[in-house]
Amino acid sequence: MERSLPETLARYRELSRMLEDPDIARDPAKVRDIAKERGKLERPAKLYERWLDARRQIRETEALREDPEMREAADEELVRLRAEFDRLTEDVADLMGGDETEDAESVIVEVRAGTGGDEAALFAGELFDMYCRFAESKRLKVEVLEVAKTDLGGVREAICALTGPGVYRMLKFESGGHRVQRVPATETQGRTHTSAATVAVLPEFEEVEIEIRPEDLRIDTMRAGGPGGQKVNKTESAVRITHIPTGLVVKCQDEKSQHKNKARAMRILKSRIYDHIRQQKDKERAQARKSQIGSGDRSERIRTYNFPQDRLTDHRLDFNLHGLPGIMAGGLDPLIDALRKKERAERLKSLDLKDLEDKE
């Protein structure tokens, strides 16, 4: 959060008072802007109010223990109040460690083949399918934006948009390097090979404030092409957009319409620019984000899939998981739950409750 919880609550209350002002009520545009800002602050403000109220009730109940006749009843009530307070503190820790991306209900998922040739491309394709199956199991909307296939059926790059409640919270831990260890189908001597792919999960916002000036873009059109001479168009429908200030490049060619390819490319580019800006900010406030599990940097190896031993190792956790076929079929819930639990524990460890108490 950019604003502390005490500051958030103060601003929320200020906005609530403003909405009751008769002079402001006569200005529909101003009311709309105030209501919009207040709506964004409501969830953290209400949570902080509940946290403050739970702490107040604990102190009042502790005072009742001074009365011998009330002590037993007070002790019973304190068990309930402290359990509620601990739960609210966990929620507070989540808010203080997160930012606006936590609430994103749409993400762009990009999977790219890394080192390992054809085997890396096959693995990248399997990862992409894994995320699509996971999304379908959660009833998320899946929109495939671009897939660059290889001759053997793998993918050099695959991009999709997933939309639904909580999607970024579920998949935010997936960004990074994924390594696979297995015997490729083309291996004649039974040797285990190691290949890699990278995954990026980029939050997507409908109203994200990113200025993309036309003069900052270089747009090239070309004929689409595919493996083995397949999917070659006679018209220049493929589009490549370069964002000159950042050097980010997006190419789309899956649609037959140049207009549709351009629209898809701009959508992907917008998310990449937002992610670029966000990661720059994260580096600047790295010390304030000690509770973040991993950096989300694509160069960071986060996971190893060992097929001969049916073992998945997430290098941010202190235990392994087995049952790779189920995981590759979209069964990511055990991983997601473990990573969220670890992140919450680390945030709680770094949370200083005095920051909340002293500013009440």
Contact 112, 130 (CB under 8 A): no
Neighbours of 143 (CB within 10 A): 14
List the pLDDT tens digit at each of the 360 positions of the chain. 567 788 889 999 999 999 999 999 999 999 999 999 999 899 889 999 999 999 999 999 999 999 999 999 999 999 999 999 999 988 888 777 666 677 788 999 999 999 989 999 999 999 999 999 999 999 999 999 989 999 888 999 999 999 999 899 899 999 999 999 999 876 767 789 999 999 999 988 765 556 788 888 999 888 776 554 444 455 678 899 999 988 999 989 877 788 888 988 888 888 888 888 777 766 654 444 444 444 444 457 899 999 999 999 999 998 999 999 999 999 999 999 999 989 888 888 877 766 676 454
pLDDT value at residue 235: 65
Instruction: Note whether 107 and 141 are within 8 A (CB).
Output: no
Lay out the sheet containing 106-113: strands in order across.
Answer: 141-149, 155-163, 106-113, 193-203, 176-182, 301-306, 311-314, 320-322
CB 298 within 8 A of CB 176: yes
The reported pLDDT for the residue numbered 346 is 85
The reported pTM is 0.71
Residue 234: predicted pLDDT: 58
Name the residue among 298, 292, 311 with its Cα closest to residue 177: 298
Tokens (6 digits) for 88: 């609210």
Please tell me the distance from the alpha carbon of residue 206 to that of residue 192, in angstroms, as a whole number: 45
Report yes or no: 321 and 327 within 8 Å, Cβ to Cβ. yes
Pairing of β 248-252 and β 238-243: antiparallel
Angle among Cα 77, 78, 81 to the nearest 5 degrees reads 90
CA atoms in the 13 A half-sphere facing the CB of 102: 15
CB neighbour list of residue 329: distance below 8 Å, 6 or more residues apart: 130, 133
Can you give the pLDDT at residue 94?
77
- The two counts, helices (H) then strands (E), for the chain are 10, 11
Q: At what angle do helices 28-64 and 5-19 cross, to 10 degrees?
A: 130
Token reading at 48: 């902080």
User: In residues, how long is the chain?
Assistant: 360
Give the pLDDT confidence score for residue 82 in this predicted structure.
Answer: 95
Phi, psi of 180 (to 5 degrees): -120, 140
Give the contacts of 77 (CB within 8 A, at least 6 positions apart). 61
Domains of the chain by start residue, with CATH: 5-97 (1.20.58), 100-343 (3.30.70.1660)
Q: Which residues have a Cβ under 8 Å from the Cβ of 114 and sit 6 or more positions away?
A: 120, 124, 177, 195, 196, 197, 198
270, 210 in Cβ contact below 8 A?
yes
- Report d(CA 205, CA 27) in Å as an integer: 28
What's the pLDDT score for residue 27? 93
Residue 259: its H or E element: helix 258-284
